[in-house]
Structure 1
Amino acid sequence: MMYSFEVKGVHKNYGRKQVFTDISFRFDQNRFIVLLGSNGSGKSTMLKLCAGLAPFSKGEIRLGDASSRIERAQNASYVAEGVGYPAYQTAGTILTQQKKLYPEFNQEQALHYCHEVSVPTQVKWGSLSTGQRHLLALIVAISTQKPFLFIDELLANLDTTKKEAMQGILTDFLLDDNRTIVMATHAYEDVEMLADGAMFIKDDDVTTITDLEGWRQEHGASLRDLFARVGRA
C-alpha cells in the first residue's frame, strides 16, 4: 500500500505575514521526498502543517486517507533540531516512556538502533552530543511506527560517522513499503541517492519533481543543480 501526499489550495499566515497563498502539489508513489528552499522560505512551516502540528486558514492537506489535523497528527511523526527531552532523563528512560505513551512504539527496535549507532542508553539527554541527540530523536520518531515521517534539518552540523548512521536508519525505514519520508535539508547531497522525489519552495510557490531519477537522466544534473536552477528561476 502506497500513501499519497497532497496539499491543495493551502493558505497560511502568521499574523499579517502571509507564508503560503494557494499552495498545491501532490506525490502519489514517492517514498522519500526532499524539501529544498532557502532559509525563511517556509520549509519548517510546511512540514509542521503537513504533520498536523500547525493550523492553516484555507485549503486541504491529505496524508493518504487522513485529512483532518488530528488524523494527520496520528499518522505522522515530526522530528527537528529543536525537538528535545528533559536533560535529566537517560536515553533508556526516554524509550521506556515512549512505550508507555504509545503502545505501538517498538522499543526493541529502538534499543537495537541505539546499539547500532552508538547512542548510549544509560547516558542522560543533557550529556549526549548533538549528533547523538539527533540520532535518538530520529530513532524515537521511526520506532513510533507511523506511516509518515517529517524531518527538519537533522543532518546539519553532523560529522561523517553520524551522517552515515542516520543514512542507515533512513534506509531501513524505507524497506517498509507503507512508510514515506519528507525531509527538509541543506545537506541534500547526503540523502540524494535515497530520494525519489523533490520539491522546492520559493516566493510562495512550490516546484515538484515526482521522478527524481528521470529528472537526473533527462537533465544530467543533481539536487545541487536543481537548487541552483530553480533558485534562479
Structure 2
Amino acid sequence: MNTLKVTGLKKKYGSNDVFTDLSVHLQQNRFVVLLGANGSGKSTFLRLCAGLAPQSAGTIELNDAEERMNRAQLSSYVSEKAAFGFNDTAEAILKSQSEISPDFYLNKAIEFCDVVAVPMQTKWNVMSTGQRYLLSLIIAIAEQRPFIFIDEVLANLDTSKKEAMRSILTDFLVEEDRFILMATHAYEDVEALADGVIFIENKQATIINDLDKWRFEHGKSLKDLFAEVGKR
C-alpha cells in the first residue's frame, strides 16, 4: 500500500498563510476525496504533495520520499492547466509520453481514449475542454506512478463521459495498487469510489481514514458530508 504523510505543513504566499500547521497521514487508502470551500487551499495542497511547489515549512512524504524531485517522480498531476503542443494530436501526445516514460501503458491509454471518445487525430488546440481533461487524466492513469493527484476534472465532463471515466477509474482501482487524491465538488461522481476523505478548513485538515466506517457510524453519505462542507 502507498503512504501519504504530511507533518506540520506550512505554506505562505506573500503575507497570506494558506496552511499553518497541517498534518495528514493516510496509508491504507486507494481513492481519497479532498474537500474544502473555495479558497481553502485544495489546489495548493495537491501541488505541494506532487512536488510541483515548495512548502514554507514542514514535511511531505510519499512512500518515504521527502524531497520535491523524488515526490514529483512518484506523482502524476491532473488539472485544468495541463498543456501539450497546440498542434499535437492525441495520438502524437500519447506516443510522446511513451517515449518519455518507457513504462507508459500506451496500448491501455489508446484503449481508454476509444472508450471515452477522445479523437486520436484531433489536435490539442481544437479539442473541447472536456476532451482535454479526459486525455490528461488518461495520461496520468497510464503512467506507472504510485500517486495520482487530480484537481477538479470530473465536474467539467458531460454525463456520458463521466460514466465512461468512472468505469475506467473503477477498473483501475481494482487492478492497480495506487493512490488517487481528487479534489472535487461532484460528490455523486465519486461516491462509490472513495474510501477516505481529507477535509481542509481554517488551514487545518480533518481526516476520515475509513469512509465506509464513517458512513455506518454517522448514518450519512458522502453527499451529506459535501452538504456540511457547503454550509461552513
Q: TM-score by structure 2 length?
A: 0.96
- Report runs of 4+ in structure 1 exceeding 6 Å deviation: none
Q: Distance in 1 between matches of 2:176 and 2:158?
A: 29
Q: Distance in 1 between matches of 2:48 and 2:70?
A: 12
Please say if 1:148 is aligned against 2:143.
no
Correspondence for 2:71:
72
Q: Distance in 2 between matches of 1:90 and 1:208?
A: 41
Q: Distance in 1 between matches of 2:108 and 2:189?
A: 24
Deviation at 1:123, TM superposition (A): 0.9
Please say if 1:128 is aligned against 2:163.
no
Amino acid paired to 1:180: F
Q: Equivalent residues in 2 for 1:23-172 (5 A)?
A: 23-172=22-171
Amino acid paired to 2:19: F
Q: Distance in 1 between matches of 2:157 and 2:166?
A: 12
Alignment CA distance shift 1:194-1:224 (3 Å): same
Alignment CA distance shift 1:17-1:102 (3 Å): same
Equivalent residues of 1:91, 1:125 under 8 A apart: yes
Q: Deviations over 1:154-194 (max 9, x none)?
A: 01232110111111221122123420100000102211110
Deviation at 1:230, TM superposition (A): 5.0
Correspondence for 2:200:
201
Amino acid paired to 1:127: V
Q: Distance in 2 between matches of 1:138 and 1:177?
A: 15
Equivalent residues of 2:35, 2:229 under 8 A apart: no
* Partner SS state of residue 165, structure 2: helix
Amino acid paired to 1:106: Y
Q: Deviations over 1:87-113 (max 9, x none)?
A: 211000001111121122111111111
Q: Distance in 2 between matches of 1:138 and 1:29?
A: 23
Q: How many matched pairs?
A: 232
* Partner SS state of residue 182, structure 1: strand
Deviation at 1:232, TM superposition (A): 5.1
Amino acid paired to 1:49: L
Amino acid paired to 1:105: F
Q: Distance in 1 between matches of 2:229 and 2:143?
A: 35
When the two chains are superposed, the root-mean-square deviation of aligned CA atoms in Å is: 1.3
Q: Deviations over 1:40-70 (max 9, x none)?
A: 1000000000000000121111111211111
Equivalent residues of 2:185, 2:226 under 8 A apart: no
Alignment CA distance shift 1:29-1:23 (3 Å): same
Amino acid paired to 1:120: P
Equivalent residues of 1:7, 1:24 under 8 A apart: yes
Q: Deviations over 1:129-169 (max 9, x none)?
A: 22211111001111111000000000123211011111122
Correspondence for 1:210:
209
Identity %: 57
Deviation at 1:18, TM superposition (A): 0.7
More off after superposition, 181-190 vs 171-180: 171-180
Gaps of at least 5 residues in structure 1 are: none
* Partner SS state of residue 66, structure 2: coil
